[in-house]
Structure 1
Amino acid sequence: MNKFNITLILLLFVSMVSAQTLTLDLGVGINSPSDDFSTGYKAKGINGLTVDAGVRYMFMKKLGVKVDLGFNRYGADDSSIDFKANLTRVNAQLYYNLWDNLYDIQIRLPERLAIFVHAGPGMSFMKPLSEPFNNDKSSNFNVLGGLAVHYGITDRIAVFADASNFFNLGQKQHYEGAELTDKINASMFNLTFGVTISINSDCYYCQEPEMGL
């Protein structure tokens, strides 16, 4: 990740810390890259470690934005040439809470539950860790989308599960690190579990939606 991207992330964070409704989202989990490997290489179906850390600002209970950093490590399965690689991403996403909409169609959910759909653009940075590709880094744009279920333990702390998929646009390397003759669009699935910590005392789980009965 170059200095410009790091500076941009820091500026976004500083500009958001003055917001009233700010949360810190921290998660760990697993990943599964799409089958975009050169001959002889194949990743495990389920890989660890995946880490996600982000700052989310909710304009209201239903709508918000998030800037997050994700880290994925994956490696060879038993039938593959041995390799390991890291893939790091940075994304800016919109978050939309479906909870009120489900109430509108008479689906009753716990008061402290939130179901978010989220999506947004970003950058991916691939770093192979094994010979002969360990010096071949690359970067490309990506688009991420997912579904996250949050449950409030207290007004300030919630636990969540998040299933998301991001698509690397114009990827220049196979996932193990070999250079591509033509750029491709590849994907990686993430499943993370974690905790959300509110930086202020606002409670977005305590307001019941209006029922049009």
Structure 2
Amino acid sequence: MQKFSLVLVLLCSMMSFGQKNWNRISIETGYGYVTPSKLYGSEFSKSDLSGFNHFDFGVRYMFNEKIGVKVNFGRDKFESDNAGVRYNSLNASAVYNVGSLFNLNYMTNERIGLLGRVGAGLTFAKPETSSRSERIGTATIGLTPQVKLSERFSLYGDVAYAFRFKQHYGFDGVLLNSDYASEVGKTTVFSIGLMFYLGNKTKHADWH
């Protein structure tokens, strides 16, 4: 217990030290449109299973003005005529301030930013047509343009492409193969949301 307390104190001290120059933490939430790859029966089309059925919530920590990490929860639903599947995903991503490569802060007077990320996680899938559920490994790549509204808020858009490894059920909720062989599913999300910056400093690392 003493060792755990010591580690906790050291971590808090490091975070406090890191806050000397700028705020590093943001809370982010978004809503958007999700569309799947062709893993569904011929009676459906992509538009049948696509829609504004994406929600996500995340927390991001920037180590400096260029590099950070993000942990987020996402919920997606693919649904048509009592068929489909629901996804609940947990992901961890490495974040890079792509805008810093183009000096966007300087060029736009700290109004426009651009973040990129790559990550991995776990998706819990629940088919509508089956009592079974499954866990699917997920890899994600995303690009996030930002518009600064104030020192506390930014509006963002996000485009994310995810690979769903070892998927046994299609996006219509039907088993893909009778021998339970898995396939790789893919989803694309277009979303919009808000970032809220935490901390007692004037600026966040995104705009430093």
TM-score range, shorter chain: 0.7 to 0.9
Which residue number corresponds to residue 153 of structure 1? 149
Q: Aligned AA for 1:28? A: Y
- SS of 2:72's equivalent in the other structure is strand
Q: Aligned AA for 2:136? A: N
| Cα shift at 1:205 | 4.8
The correspondence of residues 2-81 of structure 1 with structure 2, limited to 5 A, is 19=15, 20=19, 21-44=24-47, 46-76=50-80
Report the CA distance shift for 1:56/1:42 in structure 2 as closer, same or farther (over 3 A). Answer: same
- SS of 2:157's equivalent in the other structure is strand
| 5+ residue gaps, structure 1 | 1-14, 208-213
Q: Aligned AA for 1:34? A: S
| Cα shift at 1:136 | 2.3
Q: Normalization by structure 1: what TM-score?
A: 0.78
The correspondence of residues 190-205 of structure 1 with structure 2, limited to 5 A, is 190-202=189-201, 203=203, 204-205=205-206
**How far apart in 2 are the matches of 1:206 and 1:86?**
36
- Note the alpha carbon deviations across 1:135-189, whole angstroms, 9 max, x for none: 1211110100010011221111111000001100111111222223321111011
Q: Aligned AA for 1:22? A: I
Report the CA distance shift for 1:201/1:172 in structure 2 as closer, same or farther (over 3 A). Answer: same
| Cα shift at 1:134 | 3.5
Structure number with the higher helix fraction is: 2
Q: Normalization by structure 2: what TM-score?
A: 0.79
- Note the alpha carbon deviations across 1:12-71, whole angstroms, 9 max, x for none: xxx89x944211001011100111113433442631221010010011111100000010
Q: How many residues align?
A: 183
**How far apart in 2 are the matches of 1:121 and 1:94?**
9
- The answer as to 2:162 corresponding to 1:166 is yes
Report the CA distance shift for 1:89/1:206 in structure 2 as closer, same or farther (over 3 A). Answer: closer
- SS of 1:179's equivalent in the other structure is coil
**How far apart in 2 are the matches of 1:93 and 1:206?**
20
Q: Aligned AA for 1:184? A: E
**How far apart in 2 are the matches of 1:61 and 1:140?**
33
Q: Aligned AA for 1:137? A: S
Contact in 2 for aligned 1:24/1:56 (Cα 8 Å): yes
For the aligned residue pairs, the C-alpha RMSD in angstroms reads 2.3
Larger mean Cα displacement after TM superposition, 142-151 or 41-50 = 41-50
- SS of 1:163's equivalent in the other structure is strand
| Cα shift at 1:206 | 4.4
| Cα shift at 1:82 | 4.6
- The answer as to 2:99 corresponding to 1:95 is no
| 5+ residue gaps, structure 2 | 1-10
| Cα shift at 1:123 | 0.7
Displaced runs of 4 or more, over 4 A: none
Contact in 2 for aligned 1:111/1:205 (Cα 8 Å): no
The correspondence of residues 128-147 of structure 1 with structure 2, limited to 5 A, is 128-129=127-128, 133-147=129-143
